[in-house]
Structure 1
Amino acid sequence: MTDRVQVAIVGAGPVGATAANLLGTYGVTTLIIDREPDVVTYPRAIGVDDETLRTFQTVGLADEVLRSAIQNVPLKFFDASGRCLADIRPTAQDYGWYKRNIFLQPEAEAVLRRGLDRFPHVQVMLGTELRQIRQDADGVTLTLAGSREVRADYVIAADGGRSSVRGLLGIPLEGATHPRKWVVIDCANDPLDAPYTALHCDPRRPYVCAHLPDDRRRWEFMLFPGEDADEMLAPDRVRDLLRHHVADPEVVEVVRARVYTHHSRIATRFTDGRIALAGDAAHLMPPWAGQGMNTGIRDVTNLCWKLAATVRDQAGHALLGTYDRERRPHARAMIELSTTLGRILSPTRRSLAHARNWFLRAASLAPAVKRWVLEMRFKPIPHYRGGFVAGADVPGVGRMFVQPRVETATGTHPRLDDVLGPWFAVIGFECDPLAGLGDAELGAMKIFNPRIVKIVESRAGERHHEQHCVDPGTIVVEDVHNELRPWFRSRGRDVVLVRPDRYVAALTTADALGSAIMNLAEQFGSAQR
């Protein structure tokens, strides 16, 4: 007997569980399987960024994840003498959340898995191993342990760096494996007063020291050639590593120690027929930018709405091709950033370390460079030029839309996404966004089933709120902190079509919105054929 679902997900880690929550939110029948019977507890990701939190907000779990997280955590680089070379502390909340937050991955995973209980159309099978996968023109058949078969319209492979799905498909990873290994030690009873993440560029032994929630701390030490990885995990050797950095290592409770090898690799393609790779199954990167898990969350945030539109017959299979075109270049950019930060951290030759220190100190004297570092502007921002967008040359199109707080008619101040809802949205700034559309264009608009929102200036007055709109269900909110006015005015447009992943599909005026809608509807329509 074969079970049938619209989407099957292999891997219930943070990327797979986020995908299942997104699909659950979109009403897609989903099966998620994982060979592990419970959440894995060994050291992994500790950083969650603003883009990931925005996705968690979409599925209604951001606040619960943050209950056990530390928000707005600085990142610092130190030289061997303890002098600070760079202090990165971005405070802007362009997307509605802080850019650097520290969490415990097992606790966040537990929140994501509990979130699936809300969806009767999402089935979870833990302790279940995938044995075989084969696809044809109409779907994908997964053979599970015990000879059980599942038939799915589409499959997301979120099964980690050693992805069995990627292996079965024969998709290679391009890139390199780094020669140096690192010991990762998670400790309780943190004895240090250092509430930040520190990258210590010490040529004697480069290391990382990160303050974690619940009085914990993570240490990561580079291993040198000739040092045996297994021997370095012996309790006495772990204490020796800590002895140089804490007054009394005996008071530190070592929760877990493991040795990791770092990779800078990316799959040659993110899709194969009806199967899509996401997270570590699609790309591997060193941990220094804290972007491995976050890049995987971006993957499924981009992917899941496209799968939902496809299985609901709003769009066809061709839409899946935009996933690779949009996500793969940005994943590569994140790998390059993470690799570069590792090169800054890890020189063991004193001459190279001295040159690096001199360069970073000199650069920090330039105000523009200092702001660039302080606000973390070196982090690559996704820009989807060649995917599902209309007018890719318009500034702002293909980039994530901002998320300030707005004021509703009842006086509450929600984040903007909570007004937009989880699907498409059309927003007009101080205008009715649908006012310039004809009947054909209004008909084409229905394919996206968007929520219509009109934004008026702060304290605009009753007559601005009560103006007639083409769509009687239009939601009117105020730009309470005057953050949206400069965004629209600087781009010379007043209407935006926002995708479910919060990226701008079109930025135009009310008079010209019709052509953008017809363009995007044609992309959906051609996908159906």
Structure 2
Amino acid sequence: MDDDVVVAGAGPVGLLLAAELSLAGVSVTVLERLTEQNQALKAGGINGRSNQLLARRGLGARIAAEAAKYGDGFAAFTRERTAPGANSRPRARLGGHFAGLLLNTESALEVPPATALPQQALERLLGAWVAELGVPVLTGHEVTGLSQNTDEVTVRVRTSEGTKAIRCAYLVGCDGGRSTVRKLAGFPFPGTDPLTTGYQAALTLDPAVPLPTGWHATDRGLYAYGPKPGRILAVEFTGPPADRDAPVTQAELQEALRRISDTDVIVTEVESAARFTDNTRQAATYQRGRVLLAGDAAHVHPPFGGQGLNIGLQDAANLGWKLAATVRGWAPSGLLDSYTTERHAVAGQVLENTRAQIALMRPDPHSRAMRALFAQLLEADVTLTDLLGARLQGLDVRYDAGPRTHPLTGRYLPDLPGLADAMRLPRPVLAELSDSAGLGAVVEGWSDRVDLRRLPAVPGVTALLLRPDGYVAWAADGAPDVASLHEALTTWFGEPR
């Protein structure tokens, strides 16, 4: 066998998954069809939850340094803009947008800071990290076939030097919305067909014909100018494009913007442009035998709010430790199955909220009436605004971690002093936050896979058992219940040695 795991696709999701597997002691190779990075405009940032995940793996300073090159204009936009009909409560914080209606969330909602960072920059950063870890990333390697049995997967690959076969224990498709791995492995991919043609572009406009910044719903569709100068997103409801892959010309962009904005805007230069649609689909399962899917290979939807990139990164964090545990032989029964169970539900909510956003974006009179009413509800109901903000940022995720004897059980653990150092590796952590916890003897049987760490005291918590993806598997607020801790350790991290 050539590798424990082969990852198809060297985008951010595939690279993060490869790093997680490598850090967990699993041999992994990444295959990438392209020989050069795709420069088409994609997601423009990572949300707070993704920031926390990457910072806990030691990448916080790198991300901050890289983001400093691209952040001009973003802070000013979020500080100054209020979209037509959007919630405008004073001193509220921006929690994203829903169909172009800005969500100014109340300060009581914990919204970790997002980072404005082009997807290509994040990809380069993760690529450098993976290279430091010694993971091979083979560009110009296109997956053309696969077969599997009960013991391994054989991946057939085309390269400039001919074809070859690679044998591995598991294959993971992180190869995008048109995933070859998904198609070859026969994953059902049900969903809804597209109704729209959308554009994302970085361009320059003639200042003599200014285009208003912010989000704008018009009689022809909807467009957003910002949050950085020259960044455009535009959607019109004329059906899907005849050829989504044809190059987007300067003339096409200008005509589309003129139709949607009802202005005589002049596009003088196009740096990057791409089409998108509201094609919305999700794999029925994320695993078939020894083949798995993550990121856009598992779910596709319109790119509103950059949700796809962020849930893809969380897919990788969820799958990485579970697949590593399976390869290394200590995974309890059903652990790898829980990847589909947990992440399928999260992506399903994203698909539903993007479909709902399309409904609110339509230019017909009935949809515009619904949009106006929805904007009023956002203005009047703090709970609704915060609920949507939490959902779009992935802050409302709560996995089924067994009996919920503590409010944190199943939820992502917010940042605590010392936590980032404790989670530098994708390993479970049993954290004692009280001098009297005394759990060293309990965790001894799992010391080969669970780290015992002492963290500063936090009100209402004496001890925590953290999964490698940052979610709480068990917690105590008083004298720890040793029996329930033992059960949680066994459920998530296998039998003691």
TM-score normalised by L of structure 1 = 0.78
Sort the Cα spacing of 1:76 and 1:15 in 2 relative to 1 into closer, same or farther, 3 A.
farther
Matched residue, 2:94: none
Matched residue, 2:470: 502
Equivalence map 1:214-363=2 (5 Å): 215-224=229-238, 233-242=248-257, 249-250=265-266, 252-315=268-331, 318-344=334-360, 346-363=361-378
Q: Is the 8 A contact 1:444 1:518 kept in 2?
A: no
| Larger-Rg structure | 1
Q: 2:133 aligns with which of 119, 123, 146?
A: 119
Sort the Cα spacing of 1:243 and 1:166 in 2 relative to 1 into closer, same or farther, 3 A.
closer
The CA distance in 1 between the partners of 2:186 and 2:240, in whole Å, is 34
The DSSP-based 3-state class of the residue aligned with 1:187 is: strand
Q: Is the 8 A contact 1:444 1:517 kept in 2?
A: no
- Deviation string 1:148-169 (CA, Å, 9 cap, x unpaired) is 2222222211011111111111
The CA distance in 2 between the partners of 1:206 and 1:342, in whole Å, is 10
Sort the Cα spacing of 1:274 and 1:335 in 2 relative to 1 into closer, same or farther, 3 A.
same
Which runs of no fewer than 5 residues in structure 2 stay unpaired? 87-96
- Bigger mean CA offset, 135-144 vs 292-301: 135-144
Q: 1:399 aligns with which of 402, 411, 421?
A: 411
The CA distance in 2 between the partners of 1:382 and 1:221, in whole Å, is 28
Q: Is the 8 A contact 2:279 2:300 kept in 1?
A: yes
Q: 1:150 aligns with which of 166, 175, 179?
A: 166
Matched residue, 1:463: none
Give the C-alpha shift of residue 510 in structure 1.
6.2
Matched residue, 1:476: none
Matched, 1:431 2:435: yes
TM-score normalised by L of structure 2 = 0.83
Sort the Cα spacing of 1:129 and 1:528 in 2 relative to 1 into closer, same or farther, 3 A.
farther
Sort the Cα spacing of 1:367 and 1:45 in 2 relative to 1 into closer, same or farther, 3 A.
closer
The CA distance in 1 between the partners of 2:319 and 2:212, in whole Å, is 35
Give the C-alpha shift of residue 290 in structure 1.
2.1
Matched residue, 1:62: 60
Sort the Cα spacing of 1:279 and 1:261 in 2 relative to 1 into closer, same or farther, 3 A.
same
The CA distance in 2 between the partners of 1:59 and 1:299, in whole Å, is 16
The CA distance in 2 between the partners of 1:94 and 1:355, in whole Å, is 26
Equivalence map 1:91-170=2 (5 Å): 97-99=112-114, 101-120=115-134, 122-145=135-158, 146-170=162-186
Matched residue, 1:442: 443
Amino acid at match of 1:398: G
Aligned-pair identity (%): 23
Amino acid at match of 2:163: S
Sort the Cα spacing of 1:117 and 1:224 in 2 relative to 1 into closer, same or farther, 3 A.
same
- Deviation string 1:118-154 (CA, Å, 9 cap, x unpaired) is 112x111011011222222222221222332222222
Give the C-alpha shift of residue 366 in structure 1.
3.9
Matched residue, 1:78: 84
- Deviation string 1:50-106 (CA, Å, 9 cap, x unpaired) is 1212222233333323423437674854369xxx9943245869889414x332111
Which runs of no fewer than 5 residues in structure 1 stay unpaired? 407-414, 457-483
Give the C-alpha shift of residue 271 in structure 1.
0.9
The CA distance in 2 between the partners of 1:162 and 1:355, in whole Å, is 33
Give the C-alpha shift of residue 372 in structure 1.
5.0
Give the C-alpha shift of residue 527 in structure 1.
8.1
- Deviation string 1:278-297 (CA, Å, 9 cap, x unpaired) is 01111111112320111111
The DSSP-based 3-state class of the residue aligned with 2:278 is: strand
The DSSP-based 3-state class of the residue aligned with 1:306 is: helix
Please tell me the root mean square deviation across aligned C-alpha atoms, in Å: 3.5
The CA distance in 1 between the partners of 2:445 and 2:477, in whole Å, is 17
Amino acid at match of 1:124: V
Q: 1:171 aligns with which of 187, 192, 199?
A: 187
Give the C-alpha shift of residue 384 in structure 1.
4.7
Amino acid at match of 1:127: G
The DSSP-based 3-state class of the residue aligned with 2:42 is: coil
Sort the Cα spacing of 1:61 and 1:190 in 2 relative to 1 into closer, same or farther, 3 A.
farther
Equivalenced residue count is 470
Sort the Cα spacing of 1:203 and 1:129 in 2 relative to 1 into closer, same or farther, 3 A.
same
Q: Is the 8 A contact 1:289 1:341 kept in 2?
A: no
Matched residue, 2:221: 205
